[in-house]
Chains A and B, each alone.
Chain A
Amino acid sequence: MLSAYISDSEADLRAASQQAVELALRAGGREASASAASSGGLQLGLRDGRLETAVRSGHRSLNLTVFREGRVGSASTTTFDADAIQRLVQEAASIMQWAQPDADNGLADAADLAHDVGQPLRYEPVSDDAAAMAEEASDIERALRAVEKPAGTELRTSEVGLNCSEMLSVMVTSSGFSRASLTSHHVRWCTALAARDGAMARDYAQSMARRRSDLRGADWLAERALRGATGQLGARTVPSATGPVLFSPRTAQVLIEDLVGALMGTAQYRRASFLAGALGDLVAADHLDLIEDPFEPWGLASGAYDAEGVAGSRRLILDAGVVGGYFLNSLNARRLGMRTTGNASGPYNLTLSSRRPGGDGPAMRRHLGTGLLVTAITGGHTDPTTGHWSRAVEGYWVEDGVQRFPVAGITLSGDMRTMLRGITHVGDDVERFGSFRTGSILVDAMHIGGRA
């Protein structure tokens, strides 16, 4: 076995999946698909430099979906013994018998299966042990203490977290698909609680990667968290106004999430989307591209195939502001009279870019001129059907391109369709958050709710 953290072998997982598929066909299924996964990892949590929690995790799961003439049933279990697999099959088959048929249900079309699409790089054996991770945590803690703070400001409390994990999964279908995949994952984070004159503020920084060497260093994390926390001390409200808003890279990802949500197959066929039927339409500023790439080496959302065994493709979701594609699985694709895009497990790596680059952070603030820089979105929601966007935010007030004072306790609202068209610049200050990569985003006009 390659891994220190996974207790099952590929052969074990394949045997459990195959058995589930075979039994499902015997129980009346015409088609079936099963996937088994085993994962494990280690997480340490420190507060003020002292080890507080140490957690060794271990998960297993076996999922089965069985089809018969448009009827479908599924079941999952965390134990793989013979009795549990029997029960799994029996429950899935029983649901299949009672379910109402929908002709669009079924496995992915055989022609779409990614039997030999190459797996992008996603795995490096995790060698971290608890002692090494504790040492690394101390480095982050030391870095936090070392960051220079404004006069009169103290670092009241710090928290540091480290996590590493590995996952092995196997997928088998009755249509002949059978592949295994292995991934590794590392996270490091820290939070800083800063205090000055009785006021407290907290911020965090996080780095996530498939291999350890791609993680941000201790200094970067410490700087980020502490600068965010001290910067928010003494935050105040601003009068209600309508004006330009600059979203930091961390907050800009919320706009991409809302856009992606509107282009998901389920939202499209239900027409519960503010971009219902928008394929081929200009929906965003015409300098914007959104690229999806399933094959980026070491990408957090890279993969050779989705939960149905279908590969994605490198493609433009937004092409100069025009919708180039939806995110579809087989069921939603059939309902829409389209073909699956291999997104049964969600979107792959997405990068937003502008054909008119907006420059670095300071340049973006100059484009903003006078207005709100949003650095945290603390709550609120987007109505996925109407696109009405309403959030509680924090950030800074900027005047003539210069950051003046921290702002909190305000609301921000707008309409997603108007906001997407109103994006004037995307910065070169690109950062990656999970599967999204974007720079800061400048929107020409939004409504700020504050106190006069």
Chain B
Amino acid sequence: MINPPHMDWARRLILQPNQLDEVELSRALEQLAAGADFADMFFESTKSREWRLDNGKVSAGSFSIGQGLGSRAVLGDRVSFAHTSDLRPEAIRSAHQTVQALTRLGGGTAAAPQVRLVPQLTDHGLYSRKDPLASADLLPWVQLLEKVDMLARAAHPAVRQVNASLSSAHRVVLIANTDGQLVADARPVTRLFIHVVLERAGTRAQGSAGVGGRYGLEGLTDEAVGSVVSQAVRVATVNLDARPAPGGVMPVVLGPGYAGVLFHEAVGHGLEGDHHRKGLSAFAGRMGERIAPDTVTVLDDGSLPGRLGSMGVDDEGTPGQKTALIENGVLTGLMQDRLNARLMTMTPTGNARRQSYAHLPMPRMTNTFLLAGQEDPNDIVASVGRGIYAPRMGGGQVDITSGRFNFTAVEAYLIEDGKITAPVKGVTLVGVGHEALRHIRAVGHDWALDEGIATCGKAGQTVSVSVGQPTLRIDEMVVSGSV
């Protein structure tokens, strides 16, 4: 079997080695669900490999095997959960006994349900079903990183250090629940990350860039690798000459792609179902309200082929799908998992995600982005008298309760009289979600997603996401800098 479908991967890697089958899983679910009104088991088998370029040599590599089970019982809004990396039947029974005891602590007394699992043979075609680690030939990994070193050192005479990491993982998940659902998904990930340090006349600066997607090593084409190297070196070059930014309130033009982290922070987190159910979000109770100009449409779409936020099924077995968060300026949708959707009498939207079997699922973003508008990006820059042009971002954060968010540009320039002029040192931009949305003046036609290295942290769990947008002008943002 070279290309087994998703369920075959799960049988081969999870069920068969541990002498598990549908009947055994059904019994386990019945035990798990005692006292509860819903229960699910989340199995995971993940292999990953990483190679690092360090000090001019491809001298370090590592491999890891991770497997385990997270078992959850839900009673109303209460969740009991246990996880184990031991998948032998007796270990699973013991974990489920623990969950039962925890459920009773929460007051659960309901009788155990009858479960009959029906395997779901998904083939969503969103990403390759190949195992990116199948080949034992490690030479291509070493060669790719050698090429990165060579390209970076050739790109600029001031390059002093080139560090890079190349990693792939194959994550097979199997979900079984008391509704009788039994579904698997085999998710490949490959990422290349580059960090360079330049030194000129005693001044040093760094730059980094990366690329990734749901593919194997073959997804890293020469063109993709060349582009990442030149971006990292360009950012470092720009930062060698950067001067302090002016501080205060001014117009900001964000470039296409990763700058879409703005919508991830300013809009996305505030539209996650759990934050609404708990009344924590500044957007709670505002569905149907106009919150932005009608040029603004923001989507979360877990069904984009090859993207790191994409999932054939989410971590509760719901198919990845498209959800409109803001449609033509009007707040329209929430991102939901099963628990929060049920408690809010809504429908799950394929946004249940978890870092691993050892973590509980939560409503999380997948690929979140602003759709393209009509304007020429050059005209957008030319429309600004004095402001900041920020094409590349680091990370961002949001306080969903106040709606205050911030994000950091790792490459930024002054705009003076409609022209991009001097590079400025990394600036932090601050705003309040609903205010920033109102201040969106112009939306470009140059839509792009990020290069595939974005991750999102929530409640201590990290997952891969994508963000995106076209060039965008916001009239007022607070910019860090010297006065």
Binding site for B on A (CB under 8 A): 7, 47, 50-60, 70-79, 84, 87-88, 91-92, 94-95, 97-102, 105, 130-131, 134, 156-157, 193, 200-202, 235, 237, 240-242, 269-272, 276, 335, 378-381, 383-386, 388, 390-392, 408-413, 447-452
Residues in A whose Cβ lies below 8 Å from that of B239: 383, 386
Which of these, A59, A385, A447, contacts B197 with CB under 8 Å? A385
Can you list 20 A-B pairs with a CB-CB distance of less than 8 A? A50-B78, A53-B79, A53-B81, A54-B79, A57-B83, A60-B85, A71-B59, A73-B62, A76-B62, A77-B66, A94-B138, A99-B60, A100-B58, A102-B55, A242-B482, A276-B204, A335-B55, A411-B429, A447-B480, A447-B483
**Known: A378-B406, A384-B206. Is A157-B278 also a contact (CB below 8 A)?**
yes
> Is the CB–CB distance between A79 and B430 below 8 Å?
no
Residues in B whose Cβ lies below 8 Å from that of A391: 428, 480
> Is the CB–CB distance between B142 and A98 below 8 Å?
yes
> Is the CB–CB distance between A390 and B408 below 8 Å?
yes
Residues 409-432 of chain B, each 1 if its beta carbon lies under 8 Å from chain A, else 0: 000000000000000011111111
Q: Which of A53, A235, A448 has the most CB of B within 10 A?
A: A53
The 5 closest A-B pairs by CB, nearest first: A411-B480, A392-B406, A449-B247, A379-B397, A95-B61
In angstroms, how far is the closest chain A Cβ from the Cβ of B482?
Answer: 4
Asked whether any CB of chain A lies closer than 8 Å to the CB of B249, the reply is: yes
Residues in B whose Cβ lies below 8 Å from that of A78: 65-68, 85
Which of these, A56, A72, A392, contacts B82 with CB under 8 Å? A56
Interface window among B23-31, B100-108, B292-300, B312-320: B100-108
A101–B358 Cα distance when bound, in Å, is 36
A131–B107 Cα distance when bound, in Å, is 12
**Nearest A residue (CB) for B195:** A272
**Nearest B residue (CB) for A235:** B402
Residues in B whose Cβ lies below 8 Å from that of A379: 395-397, 405-408, 428
A383–B245 Cα distance when bound, in Å, is 14
With A54-B102, A335-B55, A378-B399 already in contact, 18 other A-B pairs whose C-beta atoms are closer than 8 Å: A55-B81, A55-B83, A58-B85, A73-B61, A91-B63, A95-B62, A157-B280, A235-B402, A240-B483, A379-B395, A379-B428, A380-B406, A381-B428, A391-B428, A411-B427, A413-B428, A450-B478, A452-B249
A379–B398 Cα distance when bound, in Å, is 8
**Interface SS majority for chain A:** strand
**Known: A78-B85, A237-B478, A378-B399. Is A59-B161 also a contact (CB below 8 A)?**
no
A272–B197 Cα distance when bound, in Å, is 7
In angstroms, how far is the closest chain B Cβ from the Cβ of A158?
Answer: 11
A130–B97 Cα distance when bound, in Å, is 14
> Is the CB–CB distance between A193 and B280 below 8 Å?
yes
Residues in B whose Cβ lies below 8 Å from that of A74: 60-63
**Nearest A residue (CB) for B248:** A240
A56–B96 Cα distance when bound, in Å, is 10
A74–B401 Cα distance when bound, in Å, is 43
Asked whether any CB of chain A lies closer than 8 Å to the CB of B238, the reply is: no
In angstroms, how far is the closest chain A Cβ from the Cβ of B163?
Answer: 7
**Known: A75-B62, A99-B60, A201-B402. Is A53-B480 also a contact (CB below 8 A)?**
no
Residues in B whose Cβ lies below 8 Å from that of A272: 161, 195, 197, 204, 206
Q: Which of B60, B77, B425 has the most CB of A within 10 A?
A: B60
Which of these, A105, A131, A388, contacts B425 with CB under 8 Å? A388
**Known: A385-B205, A447-B247, A449-B247. Is A52-B480 also a contact (CB below 8 A)?**
no
**Nearest A residue (CB) for B281:** A200
**Nearest A residue (CB) for B62:** A74
Residues in B whose Cβ lies below 8 Å from that of A241: 483
**Nearest A residue (CB) for B432:** A409
A70–B279 Cα distance when bound, in Å, is 57
A92–B397 Cα distance when bound, in Å, is 38
**Known: A54-B80, A56-B95, A95-B63. Is A447-B426 also a contact (CB below 8 A)?**
no
> Is the CB–CB distance between A449 and B248 below 8 Å?
yes
In angstroms, how far is the closest chain B Cβ from the Cβ of A80?
Answer: 9
Residues in A whose Cβ lies below 8 Å from that of B437: none
Residues 227-249 of chain B, each 1 if its beta carbon lies under 8 Å from chain A, else 0: 00000000000010000110111
Residues in A whose Cβ lies below 8 Å from that of B481: 411, 413, 447, 449
Residues in A whose Cβ lies below 8 Å from that of B136: 94
Asked whether any CB of chain A lies closer than 8 Å to the CB of B375, the reply is: no
In angstroms, how far is the closest chain A Cβ from the Cβ of B356?
Answer: 10
In angstroms, how far is the closest chain B Cβ from the Cβ of A232?
Answer: 8
Which of these, B106, B205, B247, B402, contacts A408 with CB under 8 Å? B402
**Nearest A residue (CB) for B80:** A54
> Is the CB–CB distance between B426 and A388 below 8 Å?
yes
Residues in B whose Cβ lies below 8 Å from that of A59: 85, 358
Residues in A whose Cβ lies below 8 Å from that of B95: 56, 58
**Nearest B residue (CB) for A448:** B247
Residues 389-404 of chain B, each 1 if its beta carbon lies under 8 Å from chain A, else 0: 0000011110101101
Residues in B whose Cβ lies below 8 Å from that of A130: 101-102, 105
**Nearest A residue (CB) for B44:** A78
A381–B393 Cα distance when bound, in Å, is 11
Asked whether any CB of chain A lies closer than 8 Å to the CB of B442, the reply is: no
Which of these, B77, B397, B429, contacts A378 with CB under 8 Å? B397
Q: Which of A79, A269, A450 has the most CB of B within 10 A?
A: A79
A16–B402 Cα distance when bound, in Å, is 50
Residues 116-136 of chain B, each 1 if its beta carbon lies under 8 Å from chain A, else 0: 000000000000000000001
Asked whether any CB of chain A lies closer than 8 Å to the CB of B98, the reply is: yes
> Is the CB–CB distance between A271 and B249 below 8 Å?
no
Asked whether any CB of chain A lies closer than 8 Å to the CB of B290, the reply is: no
> Is the CB–CB distance between A56 and B280 below 8 Å?
no
A242–B195 Cα distance when bound, in Å, is 33
In angstroms, how far is the closest chain B Cβ from the Cβ of A129?
Answer: 10
B residues 123-160 with Cβ under 8 Å of A?
136, 138-139, 141-142, 160
**Known: A52-B78, A390-B480, A408-B404. Is A79-B85 also a contact (CB below 8 A)?**
yes
> Is the CB–CB distance between A200 and B402 below 8 Å?
yes
A97–B141 Cα distance when bound, in Å, is 13
Which of these, A95, A102, A390, A411, contacts B138 with CB under 8 Å? A95
In angstroms, how far is the closest chain A Cβ from the Cβ of B227?
Answer: 23
**Known: A58-B82, A380-B408. Is A99-B65 also a contact (CB below 8 A)?**
no
Residues in B whose Cβ lies below 8 Å from that of A100: 57-59, 142
**Known: A59-B358, A99-B61, A379-B395. Is A270-B78 also a contact (CB below 8 A)?**
no
> Is the CB–CB distance between B247 and A411 below 8 Å?
yes
Which of these, B59, B278, B432, contacts A72 with CB under 8 Å? B59
> Is the CB–CB distance between B61 and A413 below 8 Å?
no
B residues 261-284 with Cβ under 8 Å of A?
278-280, 282
> Is the CB–CB distance between B197 and A270 below 8 Å?
yes
A410–B429 Cα distance when bound, in Å, is 9
Residues in A whose Cβ lies below 8 Å from that of B86: 7, 58, 60, 79
**Nearest A residue (CB) for B396:** A379
B residues 209-240 with Cβ under 8 Å of A?
239
